[in-house]
C-alpha cells in the first residue's frame, strides 16, 4: 500500500495557505510548498510567502532556500519534494503539498522523469539575442511550431518556459511533450489525492486586487530595491510576477499607479492561466473556495479515510 499525500492547488489568492495549515493541524500533517517563486530567499512580499505567524507551528518545507541569482529546475523540485515527503511519512505524519505552480504539481503527482539535459549556454544566448532583437513573440511562435501541445499551457510572455521548450528540442531532437510521455512509464511512489480550490471569478479577482494593495503597503517596492542592490543577476527570479512590474516602475517606464494597475491585471491573468492548467487535469477534485474551511477539511479528511480503508 502506497503512502498517501494530499495536494492542495489552485489560483493565487484563493486561500490555499489558510486551508493547508488548518488541515495539517487536523491531520497531524506537515506542509511542502509547491510554488516556483516562494523557493527564493529575500523574496517574501511579492511571492505572498507564508509567514511564521500563518504557519501556526506547522513545519513548512521548500520555502526560502534558493538564492535569487541561482537557477532551480523542476527536476530539482521533484527530488527535493519527494525527499521531504519521505521524511514526513517516516515520522508517521501526513504530507500536504500546497501551491499554485501547475508544472510542479504534475511533475510530482505523475512522477515525470526529466532526462539530464546539459544547458547549451551558447544556444541560450542565441535565443536571448533573438528575443532582444525580434521580440519574445517570435520565440513563442517558433516553440508553438515545434511543440504545440506543450505551448497550450505556456503563456506568450513566459520567457523561461518558452526557451525551455526550444532548448529541449535543440538538445535532444525530441519535444518536451514526447519526453514527458516517455517519462511517465514509472509508477509514482506515493498515492496523491489532488484538490484544487475553485472560486467565483469576480470574488477571486477582488481578493487579488486587495492582495496587491496590501503588498504595496507592506513594502514590495522597497523589497525589490533591496534585491537589486544585493544581487548582480536574476536568471529567473526577477521575471516573476510582482517583481518585473516594480523593476519597470523603478526604471521610470511607468508611474506608480500604472505599475499597481498592471500588477493587478497581470495577477488576474495569471490566476486565469492557473485555473486553465488545473482544469485540464482530470484527476483533480474541486473544492469550493467560498465554502467554510471546516467543510473543505471535512471533505478531504473523509476522502483520505475512505481511501485508507479501501486500500
Per-residue pLDDT of the chain (311 residues; tens, 9 = 90+): 899 999 999 999 999 999 999 999 999 999 999 999 999 999 999 999 999 999 999 999 999 999 998 889 888 999 999 999 999 999 999 999 999 999 999 999 998 887 777 778 899 889 999 999 999 998 999 999 999 998 987 888 888 889 989 998 988 888 988 887 776 667 899 999 999 999 999 999 999 999 999 999 999 999 999 999 998 877 677 778 889 999 999 999 999 999 999 999 999 999 999 999 999 988 999 999 999 999 999 999 999 986 544 43
CA distance 97 to 60: 10
Q: What is the pTM of this model?
A: 0.82
Cell of 167: 532548448
Given a contact cutoff of 8 angstroms between Cβ atoms, the answer to whether 4 and 89 are in contact is: no
- C-alpha closest to that of 110 among 282, 285, 302: 282
- Backbone torsions φ then ψ of 33, nearest 5 degrees: -75, 140
Amino acid at each position: 500500500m502506497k503512502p498517501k499525500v494530499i495536494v492542495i492547488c489552485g489560483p493565487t489568492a484563493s486561500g490555499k495557505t489558510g486551508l493547508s495549515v488548518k488541515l495539517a493541524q487536523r491531520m497531524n500533517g506537515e506542509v511542502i510548498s509547491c510554488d516556483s517563486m516562494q523557493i527564493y530567499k529575500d523574496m517574501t512580499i511579492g511571492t505572498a510567502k507564508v509567514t511564521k505567524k500563518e504557519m501556526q507551528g506547522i513545519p513548512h518545507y521548500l520555502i526560502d532556500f534558493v538564492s535569487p541569482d541561482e537557477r532551480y529546475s523542476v527536476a530539482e523540485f521533484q527530488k527535493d519534494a519527494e525527499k521531504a515527503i519521505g521524511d514526513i511519512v517516516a515520522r508517521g505524519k501526513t504530507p500536504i503539498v500546497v501551491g499554485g505552480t501547475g508544472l510542479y504539481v504534475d511533475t510530482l503527482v505523475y512522477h515525470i522523469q526529466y532526462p539530464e539535459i546539459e544547458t547549451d549556454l551558447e544556444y541560450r544566448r542565441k535565443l536571448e539575442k533573438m528575443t532582444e532583437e525580434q521580440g519574445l513573440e517570435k520565440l513563442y511562435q517558433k516553440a508553438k511550431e515545434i511543440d504545440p501541445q506543450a505551448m497550450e499551457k505556456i503563456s506568450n510572455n513566459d520567457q523561461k518556459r518558452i526557451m525551455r521548450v526550444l532548448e529541449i528540442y535543440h538538445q535532444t531532437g525530441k519535444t518536451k511533450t514526447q519526453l514527458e510521455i516517455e517519462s511517465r512509464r514509472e509508477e509514482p511512489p506515493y498515492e496523491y489525492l489532488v484538490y484544487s480550490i475553485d472560486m467565483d471569478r469576480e470574488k477571486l479577482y477582488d481578493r487579488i486586487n486587495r492582495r496587491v494593495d496590501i503588498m504595496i503597503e507592506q513594502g514590495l517596492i522597497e523589497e525589490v530595491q533591496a534585491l537589486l542592490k544585493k544581487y548582480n543577476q536574476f536568471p529567473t527570479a526577477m521575471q516573476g510576477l510582482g517583481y518585473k512590474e516594480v523593476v519597470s516602475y523603478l526604471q521610470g517606464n511607468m508611474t506608480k499607479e500604472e505599475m499597481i494597475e498592471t500588477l493587478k491585471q497581470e495577477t488576474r491573468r495569471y490566476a486565469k492561466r492557473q485555473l486553465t492548467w488545473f482544469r485540464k487535469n482530470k484527476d483533480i477534485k474541486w473544492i469550493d473556495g467560498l465554502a467554510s474551511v471546516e467543510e473543505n477539511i471535512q471533505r478531504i479528511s473523509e476522502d483520505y479515510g475512505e481511501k485508507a480503508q479501501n486500500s
